[in-house]
Amino acid sequence: MTKFFYAILITALLVVGIPISNRHVNAAECKDLKIIFARGSGEVQDKNESFLAFKSSLETKLKTTSLSYDFTDLKYPAIAVTDDIFVALGALFGGGNSYAFGESVKVGTNNLISLIDSSTCEKTKYILAGYSQGAIVVINSLSKIDSNKIIYAATFGDPKLYLPEGAGIFPAACRNQDLSNYRIYVPDCYAHNGLLGGTNPYQTENYIDKLGTWCNKMDIMCSGHFNIDNHISYVDDNLYEDASRIIFSKITKYFDIKSNIASPHDTAILLDTTGSMGPLIFKFKNEAVRLATETFNKGGRIALYEYRDLDDPFEPVEHCVFETCTLKDFIKAIDSIEVSGGGDEPESLLSAALHTMRNLNWQRGATKSIVVLTDAGFLSPDRDGASYQQVVKLSREIDPVNFYIITPERNEYKYLELANDTDGKVVTDFDKLSLLTDFIIERADSLPKVEAVETEFIKPTLTIDDVSHTAADSFTISVTSSTGKTLVILNDAVLGITSENKFTITDVNTLNTNTLGLIPISDTERGDAVIVTLDQPLNEAKIKESKPESEQSILKAPNTGFKSEIML
């Protein structure tokens, strides 16, 4: 009976088309994690340095876990560019909506969505990343993908980056205020719209804490500067490595697994030891030991200094330094500290901070922190001339050093600017010091969200005075540019840079809707693009059937058609 029963069962399974052995094979093939990368313009699939650098940085960390995973360099045209700056810029324009560049982006977007939607592996989660043209592909896809399937998405050098805090003459970002949740490393506080305009909203509510963007310092595609070299140096500047730390921390948190990666942390603790500090140091001591313990467990390093007031007289005292400090040394040192003196306020924090930063051997690539415990404010300039600007500048130059100030609530306003300017925090609730320790330990990025502004930045501006249809395939444009120079882009092609305030574009393909981008530029900066849609027909009031004036610049529109079948 038993053999007969199994024979019937097997026959039934074969009839309905369920191969017994494949059921287990298919389950085994479902990875815990799939990482999909969308490469930039002209990069060769599976062989480009962007994908390989991103894969190498993250795979090194994933190998320390038991997770199953694979990497995919998304199959899509990633339409090519050349080394010529005009062609390079041109192949990265089109607003994602037209001609060769737009078609390439659409193919990439459809392929990415299809790759995820067609999967039958319900348990598989995804990491998405994209560079340049690929960044647009990722952002365009997110709204069409179930966010529950995505652990994190990262964009690099996005020509359609949107950061509202970068708008205006003196943007909020330059004051370290109102920074976007997805802003991970965008040092230019004037970064507002990408070269192709901005995707607004860039981050939807269901991707909060699941999206991060990196824009290199003067990258023409996403910052307010005019530099193509910074757009092609994401590998050399270790930005993929920086991103891999954040992504890996998101992965380990999602799967609730312990990270075995030695996270490089350098944390210096700076104690105000004037007479009134006894109770605060007593409250802080246990948490300081926990912070040191967790830091050592993660492969990091600890230093300990104390300071008072230079009028005491009292120079900063070094108790423990990165190279030699052990947990035993740290506990012994913090137990030995005595409080005395003081009686006046504020104290010499700036001098002590400069001394600490200059005398410690900070580890390259580590996440760097100074934790200050004080019940008083600080002098600027300090009694020895140390200034606030020097402290912030040096903290940035070191990579940066983030300041975390623990102080009674009455002093919070005194330290907010220092915390903001160094990407740190002010903590006034002594019952929640453990949250600060957890935040410092879990931080994985070593780069500043915004760098300090040291020079005056005047963003170029442009206004369009008139757009006229001067012939069947020609348009004449009149502009006013603050710099006198305008970068002219039609669809996905850079036509050139003109210093004329009136110019004509000829040979326009009038069978399509054309997107004209006019960008004011100087030798080193660029303004936001002013976009004009050249539809057929134009408003009758704008049509002026006349020949271009001889002194005008004449820019010829190239043939920018593109045909491609969707590649799945």
3-state secondary structure of 75: coil
pLDDT of 97 reads: 39
pLDDT at 14 over 60: no
Structure tokens at 535: 């539809």
Contact 243, 156 (CB under 8 A): yes
| Predicted confidence band of residue 536 (pLDDT cuts 50, 70, 90) | low
Q: What is the CATH number that goes with domain 462-556?
A: 2.60.40.10
Structure tokens at 354: 């400069």
Task: Tell me the per-residue pLDDT of 49-62, one tens digit each, with 9 for 90 and over.
Answer: 999 999 999 999 99
Name the strand (E) or helix (H) holding 397: helix 388-397
Average pLDDT score, the chain: 84
pLDDT at 290 over 50: yes
Structure tokens at 469: 């249809």
| Predicted confidence band of residue 506 (pLDDT cuts 50, 70, 90) | confident
pLDDT at 271 over 70: yes
pLDDT of 93 reads: 42
75 versus 398: the higher-pLDDT residue is 75
pLDDT of 562 reads: 39
Could you give the C-alpha distances from 26 to 21, 31, 122, 239, 267, in angstroms and in order?
9, 10, 12, 36, 47
Q: What does the pLDDT average to over 304-331?
A: 92
* CB burial of residue 131 (10 Å; 0-12, 13-18, 19+): buried
Q: What does the pLDDT average to over 426-446?
A: 89
Q: What does the pLDDT average to over 267-272?
A: 96
Q: What does the pLDDT average to over 36-44?
A: 94
| Predicted confidence band of residue 26 (pLDDT cuts 50, 70, 90) | low
Q: What angle separates helix 433-442 from helix 278-297, to the nearest 10 degrees?
A: 30
303 versus 551: the higher-pLDDT residue is 303
How far out from the chain centre does Cα 529 lie?
21
**517: which residues sit within 8 A by CB, 6+ positions away?**
93, 95, 196, 197, 487, 488, 489, 490, 529, 530, 531, 532
pLDDT of 96 reads: 35
| Predicted confidence band of residue 558 (pLDDT cuts 50, 70, 90) | low
Question: Which residues lie across from 505 on neighbouring strands?
Answer: 475, 555
Q: What does the pLDDT average to over 338-345?
A: 79
pLDDT of 524 reads: 87
pLDDT at 87 over 60: no
pLDDT of 345 reads: 79
> In the chain, which segments carry CATH 2.60.40.10?
462-556
pLDDT of 192 reads: 93
Least confident of 62-66, 368-372, 487-491: 487-491
Contact 183, 153 (CB under 8 A): no
Predicted TM-score of the model (pTM): 0.77
> In the chain, which segments carry CATH 3.40.50.410?
265-442
Task: Tell me the per-residue pLDDT of 402-415, one tens digit each, with 9 for 90 and over.
Answer: 999 999 999 999 99
Q: What does the pLDDT average to over 359-388?
A: 92
pLDDT at 98 over 60: no
pLDDT at 531 over 50: yes
pLDDT of 375 reads: 92
Name the fold adopted by 265-442: Rossmann fold (3.40.50)
Contact 421, 452 (CB under 8 A): yes
Contact 185, 154 (CB under 8 A): no
Q: What does the pLDDT average to over 528-539?
A: 69
10 versus 296: the higher-pLDDT residue is 296
Q: What is the CATH number that goes with domain 31-254?
A: 3.40.50.1820
pLDDT of 544 reads: 39
pLDDT at 3 over 90: no
Q: What does the pLDDT average to over 476-497?
A: 84
> In the chain, which segments carry CATH 3.40.50.1820?
31-254
